[in-house]
Amino acid sequence: MVTHTDSPRTLRVAVVEDQPLFRKMLSVLLDATDGLVVAGEYASAAEASQGLDARAVDVALLDLRLGDGDGLALGRDLRRRNPSLGVLVLSASDSMHVLLEIPRHEAGGWGYLSKTSSLSAPALVFAIRSVAEGRAVLDPAIRAQREVRRQSPLAQLSARQREVLALVADGLTNSAIAAQLGISPRSVDGHLNAAYAGLGLQASPDRNPRVEAVRAYLAHTVPGPS
């Protein structure tokens, strides 16, 4: 008999969404996905704040605009209760800038997806798994429309460095970036290190340069023309 010991753990996801039909659709989708299980459904910020045990779940899936509060504030409160909790925020508009309100030391494990542009099942599942692993995820469709601010540090990077950084902002690993661009993982690592240097990100045990680079990307880009 063969025993498999390397199966990924099942992720427990809490869904906080004030629209009943959309909340149920999310829960049904997640429960039907291998490796995911819905550990609770909540219709409001107050209900989640009072009834959600942050230490009993791996990811909180939050609507940004709840009827009685702000999903970002709720996410930060839940993270205070469980610092390893992944938080994925959903919004009906381009509000990625709200993630800049998250302190740098808390930015890992936060993600943002648009309900209108990127909320496909694969994108949602990928983002949930990414934030559970502590990676920062930005909506790829909205991210692709963002333009680099003039005279920003990003403008000093090469086109390839910005391309690699944009894929990091999508939550991709170095191996996934290498496969998508047709280059080696070592080349990806080299481009990232050059981008970190160009952005003035110093190696430090207190800072994650990958997360810092994503924050820099968000801070120095603006929505492109629609």
Question: What pLDDT is recorded for position 173?
Answer: 85
**Tokens representing 76?**
């930060």
Q: What is the pLDDT of residue 7?
A: 55
pLDDT band at 209 (very low <50, low <70, confident <90, very high): confident
Q: CATH 1.10.10.10: which residues of the chain?
A: 145-223
Distance of alpha carbon 71 from alpha carbon 65, whole angstroms = 6
pLDDT of residue 47: 95
Question: pLDDT tens for residues 147-185?
Answer: 777 778 888 888 788 888 888 877 788 888 888 777 899
Please write the tens of the pLDDT for every residue from 3-53. 444 556 899 999 999 999 999 999 999 999 999 999 999 999 999 999 999
**Which CATH fold would you assign to the domain 145-223?**
Arc Repressor Mutant, subunit A (1.10.10)
Half-sphere exposure of 21 (CA within 13 A, CB side): 0
**pLDDT value, residue 91:** 85
CATH class of 11-142: alpha beta
Compute the average pLDDT of residues 80-101: 82
Which residue intervals of the chain bear CATH 3.40.50.2300?
A: 11-142
